[in-house]
Chains A and B, each alone.
Chain A
Amino acid sequence: MTPRPEPAHQDLSGLAARASVSQLTVRTTGSALSVVEDVSLEVGAGEILGIVGESGSGKTTLGLALLAHARRGLRIAGGSVRLDGTNLLELSPGELRRLRGAALAYVPQDPGTALNPALRIGTQLEEVLAAHGRGREVRERVAEVLTEVGLPMTPELLAAYPHQLSGGQQQRVTLAIAFACRPSLIVLDEPTTGLDVTTQRRVLDTVRELCRTYRVAAVYISHDVVVVSTLADRVAVVYAGRVIELGNTEAVFNTPAHPYTIGLLDAVPSPTETRTLRGMAGIPPRPGRWPQGCAFADRCPHVLPECRDELPALFEASPGHSARCVLVEAGRPGRQATPRGGVDAPTASADFRPVGAGAPLLELRRVTAAYGARAVLHDIELAVPERACLAVVGESGSGKTTLARCISGLHSRWQGEVCFAGERLPTGVRGRSVAARRGLQYVFQNPYASLNPRRTVGGLVAQPLEEFERVSAAERLERVVEALRSAALPPEVLERYPDQLSGGERQRVAIARALVLGPRLLICDEITSALDVSVQAAVVELLRHLQHERGLAMLFITHNLALVRSIAQDVVVMQQGRIVESGSVADVLDHPTHPYTQRLLEDVPEEAPAAGHAAAGRA
């Protein structure tokens, strides 16, 4: 065991540390598997600490532990959590309860489940204030907290039920509840994940302002590196239950020291430059199954033999910036302000013009669709040339998924004309020719829902074959293995079930299933939105490869404008069921003409520290 390092002390520029945890460990109740291990952090008043990590890294567990809470099945096994000098772990449940909501506040990820659907907004706000002994001035305080989060104090709003508000408004109400009693420490767990970019930006502005004004110590948990870089003063990168890099936001994002952080940043797409996204090899360890030594060793490109034996301490890379990596100890920080990986790489998508493009493979004319009486699509016209990738961009509710479902025939109540390979398609999938059903394949958004949990990977990928071809068992196996290989999956996964795979692997299985028949067009409906950025990068790379090598045409639907540059040649922007702008990616993203596109581009959060590179890329 290496001697335990002192947690790197930050210069809090005169701010006293309001909240601090030291050597915090969280384990499962029964078998004592470690979920969060030996974490020491501090947050000053008015400071925002960002905690970045991918799914399963233990970041939510860590966030809750900062409030002295452990989810069912977990317990805080060691360490201390101090708030203004008091160790919360030594308080009685009653004392803790009095602190929660008052001095300790929490903003959860999904406001839809955090607000009680049966109570009016006003009642929910008054409840919090009344519970913490502010009974008399409740009315004025309600008005005050609502104004703070940018909501109007109208009788309509107070009388509204949560479902009558938009996602952004709901999240503002949870923020108002959290800030109502002027907490000392607030933990925000991915509060903007479900929101559109525009709403996200406004909510982030509100969070920043409130934390500054009331000198709250804030912890902002997110998987979104870019959001954290715009918001946080300091950042802790969490991997496998430990803090592996800690420092000022600028230092961490400009000169990342840990190979994991570097990999994470290389995987982030940019709205302003065409970047070859680099995924990380391997998959993260599962919670409670952290390997010995450095948990990242198995995926690290710079791995040394000693990495697997001994856990590296948090070494200082520069003042106020430390990383848990032996390279840093040896004085070789992973990267010193080098340009981002793959910028303007020769294979970058925008430069790629498919050979023989011209004749459209898929063409839509005046497509109009409705759900019941509500029209969702109006006069959609678009074309996907052979071997090209067209991105469809829009916020949630813009009708982009409905568009995909109309093209695929899953949604059959539409009018207009959809031509695929010269053939006019019937509305519903059951009326379509074998050639159309084989040639046009679909990959769904959520790989956790699109694979039947009762089938093996082999069975899943073989399904389309069984539907269209009578082949021998040997040939079927061969074709399935071939499809898996195209999706960069080893044959070993054949007999696994989906729940034995990671999210990225599942999405690859879904892609393999779509590839097994050798389709001409792939409809990808938000296929990376449920994945971590490093996994997203790998999946996008895979798709690009398929487009270049196989000449596969694609309709790539996404809400993530930044992703468009890395994958597509053409783009259409949708708003409220209409196409408001279309053209080549470079034209539309560099010189947007429609106000909606301009606003979307403005609202995309950009990594503050990387702005220099981005500007250089544009120049």
Chain B
Amino acid sequence: MSTATAAPPSPAPPTTVATVRTREWTHVLGAALRTPRGRVGFGLTIVVVAVAALGPAFAPHSATSFVTTPFAPPSGKFPLGGDVLGRDVLSRLLDGGWQLLLIAAAATALGVVLGAIAGISAAYLRGAPDTLIMRVVDVILAFPQLVFALLLVSVIGPKLWLLVVAVGLSHAPQVARVIRSTALDVSERDFVKAVEILGTPRRRVMAKEILPNLVTPLMVETGLRMTYSIVIIAGLSFIGFGIQPPAPDWGLMINENRIGLSENPWAVVAPAALIALLTIGLNTFTDAVARVALGVDRAEQAVVGERIGGAELPAGMASE
């Protein structure tokens, strides 16, 4: 047989059988960072995250001790003035972000994991499981996210773990919807059938065949949900159901200090600005990732067959 297909030489003969592609997400993140939109978003996000993460180490005063007069205007010793009880606004600002970020991250992770499991199961298993999962999703979706979280917190009380669970649960249905629609498409592809035909257990089909093909939509969902988490948790803190005083927290600070808005606006404006910058930054970066994933900015590469994710289809492809 003389039909061996010529292939370009490879650098070294492989010694093991690699299984699953792992570099997809780094590819997409890297490509997103090369776009102007991605750079701006990432820059904003990193600045706020740095303030929240490193801030506690640089806080000049204790966040909870009364060091000045209530609503003292900015001065040399207290660059952002004093808050409603005479605590240093700058110190509280520097110390008040990490908790918010941690809770938001945990809630997002919980929501995305639950949502992905629900969405993939619904799409792949079809029939009764699909109906069950999606009707539950519909019921939860009927409550606005903030109201749903409030409901849980007001019944059980403001505990940090509950905040994570409440916000995470309120995300899950939305993630499930998005992931289900993409997973439906993937489940129909022949490579899934090629594995089913071997009698592979369903759980392994979902984890090893379908999930790896949902990496980019999951990345986009994670970014979006993180933004919402921050807004919801800051919102809950603002109305008193979130992080409890006297702990410093950006959402809480806005509420506590709004009565002194005219005396020392910085006590309200500074935390509000940080929350705004963080959400805008995250959203912008997520948008850049989504655009890269969709290949919007890569029309040219698509033509010459250099796309990262998908393959170039031959001209004569018409399925039966």
- Residue numbers of A with Cβ under 8 A of B are 28-31, 33, 35, 55-56, 59-60, 71-74, 109-110, 190, 193-194, 223, 279, 281-283, 286-289, 298-299, 396, 401, 408-410, 429-430, 432, 437, 441-442, 444-446, 448-456, 458-459, 462-464, 467-468, 473, 476-477, 480, 488-495, 497-499, 502-505, 508, 510, 513, 526, 529-530, 532, 538, 541-542, 545, 559
- State whether A477 and B315 are in contact (beta carbons under 8 Å apart), knowing that A444-B190, A444-B193, A446-B190 are contacts in the complex: no
CB-CB < 8 A to A410: which residues of B? 193, 196-197
Cβ distance A297 to chain B, nearest Cβ, rounded Å: 12
Instruction: Determine if B190 and A28 form an interchain contact, defined as CB atoms under 8 angstroms apart.
Output: no
Instruction: Return 17 A-B CB contacts under 8 Å, by A number.
Output: A28-B303, A55-B315, A56-B312, A73-B299, A73-B301, A190-B315, A286-B305, A288-B305, A410-B193, A437-B198, A444-B190, A446-B317, A449-B189, A462-B17, A508-B5, A541-B3, A542-B1
Q: Which residues of the other chain, B, contact A396 by a CB distance below 8 angstroms?
A: 320
| Minimum Cβ distance to chain B for residue A434 (Å) | 8
Is there an interface contact between B5 and A489, defined as CB atoms closer than 8 Å? yes
Contact A458 B14 (CB under 8 A): yes
- Give the distance in Å from the alpha carbon of A190 to the alpha carbon of B314 in the complex: 13
* Among candidates B2, B19, B199, B319, residue contacting A446 with C-beta atoms closer than 8 Å: B319
Q: Which 4 A-B pairs have the closest CB atoms?
A: A55-B314, A194-B318, A450-B190, A454-B212
Interface set, chain B 199-213, CB cutoff 8 A to A:
199-200, 209, 212-213
- Residue B178 is within 8 A (CB to CB) of chain A in the complex: no
A279–B320 CB distance below 8 A: no
Q: Are B14 and A401 in contact (CB under 8 A)?
A: no
For B22, give the chain A residue with the smallest CB separation.
A454
B215 / chain A contacts, CB cutoff of 8 Å: 454
Q: In the complex, which residues 165-210 of chain B have their Cβ closer than 8 Å to any Cβ of chain A?
A: 189-191, 193-200, 209
What residues on B are CB-neighbors of A453 within 8 Å?
21, 191, 213, 309-311
Whether A542 lies near B300 (C-beta < 8 A) is no
If the complex has contacts A458-B17, A489-B5, A541-B1, are A223 and B212 also in contact, measured as CB distance less than 8 A? no
Would you call B302 and A73 a contact (CB within 8 A)? yes
Which residues from B are CB-within-8-Å of A444? 190, 193-194
Say which residue of B190, B304, B311 sits within 8 Å of A288 (CB atoms).
B304
Counting chain B CB atoms within 10 Å of each CB, the highest count among A73, A283, A468 belongs to: A73
Nearest to B202 among chain A residues (CB) is A430
A200 to B31, CA, bound (A): 45
A28 touches B300 (CB 8 A): yes
Chain B residues lying within 8 Å of A408, measured Cβ to Cβ, are 197
Contact count A vs B, C-beta below 8 Å: 206
Asked whether B139 is an interface residue with its Cβ less than 8 Å from the other chain, the reply is no
For the complex, give the distance between the alpha carbons of A396 and B2 in Å: 33
Contact (Cβ within 8 A) A477 B15: yes
CB pair B4 A455 closer than 8 Å:
no
Q: Are A454 and B10 interface neighbours, CB within 8 A?
A: no
Give the shortest distance, in Å, between B295 (CB) and chain A (any CB). Answer: 11
Q: Check: B7 CB closer than 8 A to any chain A CB.
A: yes
| CB pair A429 B7 closer than 8 Å | no
Between A31, A72, A442, A499, the greatest number of chain B beta carbons within 10 A of the residue's beta carbon is seen for: A499
Residues of A within 8 A of B304 (CB): 28, 33, 35, 286-289
Q: Which chain B residues numbered 87 to 111 have a C-beta less than 8 Å away from chain A?
A: none
Whether A74 lies near B303 (C-beta < 8 A) is yes
Q: How far is the CA of A430 from the CA of B299 in the complex (A)?
A: 43
Residues of A within 8 A of B194 (CB): 442, 444, 450-451, 510, 513
Known contacts A444-B190, A495-B10; is-contact A281 B213 (Cβ 8 Å): no
- Residues in A neighbouring B190, C-beta threshold 8 A: 444-446, 449-450
Q: Is B16 on the interface with A (CB-CB < 8 A)?
A: yes
- Residues on B with C-beta less than 8 A from A459 are 17-20
B316 at the interface (CB under 8 A from A): yes
* Cβ A499 vs Cβ B6 within 8 A: no
How distant is B38 from chain A, measured CB to nearest CB, in Å?
19
User: Which A residue sits closest to B304, measured CB to CB?
Assistant: A288
Assuming the contacts A449-B190, A451-B191, A495-B14, asked whether A281 and B199 have C-beta atoms less than 8 A apart, the reply is no
Could you say which residues of chain B place their CB within 8 Å of the CB of A299? 6
Say yes or no for B126: interface residue by CB 8 A criterion: no
Cβ-based interface call for B313 (8 A): yes
CA distance A159 to B7 in the complex (A): 54
The CA-CA distance from A286 to B301 in the complex, in Å, is: 12
B189 and A491 form a contact (CB under 8 A): no
Which chain B residues (225-260) contact chain A, with CB distance < 8 Å? none
CB distance from A495 to the nearest CB of B (A): 5
Q: Is the CB of A545 within 8 A of B198?
A: no
Residues of A within 8 A of B5 (CB): 281-283, 488-490, 502, 504-505, 508, 538
Given contacts A408-B197, A429-B198, A445-B319, 8 further A-B contacts (CB under 8 A): A109-B315, A288-B303, A441-B197, A450-B191, A458-B18, A492-B10, A497-B21, A502-B5
Query: Is the Cβ of A530 less than 8 Å from the Cβ of B299?
Result: no
- Closest Cβ of chain A to B188, distance in Å, is 9
Q: Restricting to B1-39, which residues have a CB under 8 Å from any CB of A?
A: 1-10, 13-21, 24
| B159 is an interface residue with CB less than 8 A from chain A | no
Residues on B with C-beta less than 8 A from A281 are 2-6
Residues of A within 8 Å of B18, CB to CB, are 456, 458-459, 494-495
- Bound CA–CA A286/B8 (angstroms): 13
The answer to whether B10 and A109 have CB atoms under 8 Å apart is no
A164 to B20, CA, bound (A): 43
Residue on B nearest A438 in the bound complex, by CB = B198
Residues of B within 8 A of A451 (CB): 191, 194
* Chain B residues whose CB sits within 8 angstroms of the CB of A464 once the complex forms: 198
Chain B residues positioned under 8 Å from A30 (CB to CB): 300
Could you tell me the distance between the alpha carbons of A476 and B14 in the complex, rounded to whole angstroms?
13
Which A residue sits closest to B319, measured CB to CB? Answer: A446
Chain B nearest CB, measured from A515 CB (Å): 13
Give, as a whole number of angstroms, the nearest-CB distance from A349 to chain B: 15
Contact B21 A454 (CB under 8 A): yes
User: Which single member of A401, A430, A480, A505 contacts B320 (CB below 8 Å)?
Assistant: A401
Closest B residue by C-beta to A280: B3
A282 engages B197 (CB within 8 Å) = no
Q: Are the C-beta atoms of B198 and A468 separated by less than 8 Å? A: yes
Interfacial chain A residues near B299, Cβ < 8 Å: 72-73
Give Cα distance in the complex from A373 to B281, angstroms. Answer: 53
Tell me the smallest distance from the CB of A34 to a CB of chain B, in Å: 10
- The residue on B at minimum CB distance from A465 is B17
CB-CB under 8 A for A455 and B19, given A463-B198, A538-B3:
yes
A499 with B314, Cβ < 8 A, contacts A455-B19, A459-B20 known: no
Q: Within the assembled complex, what's the spacing in Å between the Cα atoms of A451 and B197?
A: 14
Residues of B near A109 (CB, < 8 A) are 315-316, 318
CB-nearest residue of chain A relative to B15? A477
B320 touches A493 (CB 8 A): no
Report if B135 contacts A (CB, 8 A). Answer: no
Considering only CB atoms, which chain B residue lies closest to A506 in the complex?
B311
What residue of chain A has the Cβ atom nearest to residue B2's Cβ? A281
Q: Which partner residue on chain B sits nearest A437 by CB separation?
A: B199
Q: How far is the CA of A111 from the CA of B300 in the complex (A)?
A: 26
Instruction: Return A311 CB to nearest CB of chain B, in Å.
Output: 21
| Smallest Cβ-Cβ distance to B214: which chain A residue | A454
Q: Which residues of B contact A458 (CB under 8 A)?
A: 14, 17-19
Chain B residue with Cβ nearest A477: B17
* Measured CA separation A474–B5 after assembly (Å): 25
Q: Give the residues in chain A near B307, CB-CB below 8 Å.
A: 499
- Give the distance in Å from the alpha carbon of A30 to the alpha carbon of B297 in the complex: 12
**Which chain A residues border B2 with CB–CB below 8 Å?**
281
Which one of A432, A437, A453 has the highest number of Cβ atoms from chain B below 10 Å of its Cβ?
A453
User: In the complex, what residues of B have CB within 8 A of residue A477's CB?
Assistant: 14-17
- Give the chain B neighbours of A298 by CB distance below 8 A: 6
B320 cross-chain contacts in A, Cβ below 8 A: 396, 401, 445, 526, 529, 559
Complex contacts, A473 vs chain B, CB 8 Å: 16-17
A448 to B14, CA, bound (A): 24
Interface centre among B7, B10, B193 (most CB of A within 10 A): B7
Report the bound CA distance from A136 to B268 in whole Å. 70
A499 to B197, CA, bound (A): 23
